Structure 1
């Protein structure tokens, strides 16, 4: 963990600070994007729920268009999450590499602690936010597919 008598290059420290700040900014942007998509999807589903009686009488192409719009929104959300996940993974590889030149390895040590997860009551390990958030766009996609299939099956 700590190497007490090691001299740290100030340039490495500055790069480390910049890298961690950039990683934090990506996390904030990711959270903002999630809030936007969740709000949009929830509003879209609520409007669909209110309009459902009208949709059963509407031409099939309208229901397919609405369902397709929801599917595209869900796919956009999922792709954006994947992009943020890949960007964060790269940033943390850089941060972990920089930590090799520092007396402490804050992020690497934190990740090791999370992977050990001594409180294993209801789950086998730490549930990453990315694993949880990736399922939500798929759930919305299923709702839109059910809408389309249900309308076609009428």
Structure 2
């Protein structure tokens, strides 16, 4: 879905006044900055979850090795909780991807009102995200990380099962 650049106007240029182009460019700069902040927040969230899950995997491994976790509902409860946490992380990544996608559609529409369109040109140069040789979107990789951690938790739960 593309956004018609003309649909962004709340007030036509001819009735807005002399500051129209200046204000349009300032709004464009602000909007691009906000899109960049969404990406930064996404990376911060990923760093947080990787750190938490790395610590939890380490803790569960030690607890299993020391025989502290037992094959019971109580023993499996932490695994269920962290697998749910992996699902939450996966949904957060998906949400950020959707939010960024929407923001960049607006950025591209705003560029339709400006003399140059660097993000449009960059996207064309990257093959529109269709060729992994030109560009592999980070979200494709990000989607797998929570699933890999969930798989590790399943393997640890399986090790608990095998311990008896």
Q: TM-score range by the shorter chain?
A: 0.7 to 0.9
Which secondary structure state, in structure 2, belongs to the residue aligned with residue 127 of structure 1? coil
Shift of 1:148: 2.5
**Equivalent in the alignment of 1:31:** 43
Q: Which runs of 5+ in 1 are unaligned?
A: 1-7
1:48-59 matches, within 5 Å, as 48-55=60-67, 58-59=70-71
- TM-score, normalised to structure 2's length? 0.78
Which secondary structure state, in structure 2, belongs to the residue aligned with residue 103 of structure 1? coil
Distance 1:55 1:68, change over 3 A: farther
Shift of 1:56: 7.2
Q: Is 2:108 aligned against 1:99?
A: no
Q: Is 2:85 aligned against 1:76?
A: no
**Equivalent in the alignment of 1:147:** 156
Which secondary structure state, in structure 2, belongs to the residue aligned with residue 131 of structure 1? helix
Shift of 1:48: 1.1
Q: Distance in 2 between matches of 1:57 and 1:67?
A: 11
- TM-score, normalised to structure 1's length? 0.83
Shift of 1:111: 1.1
Q: CA RMSD in A?
A: 2.2
How many residues align? The count is 143
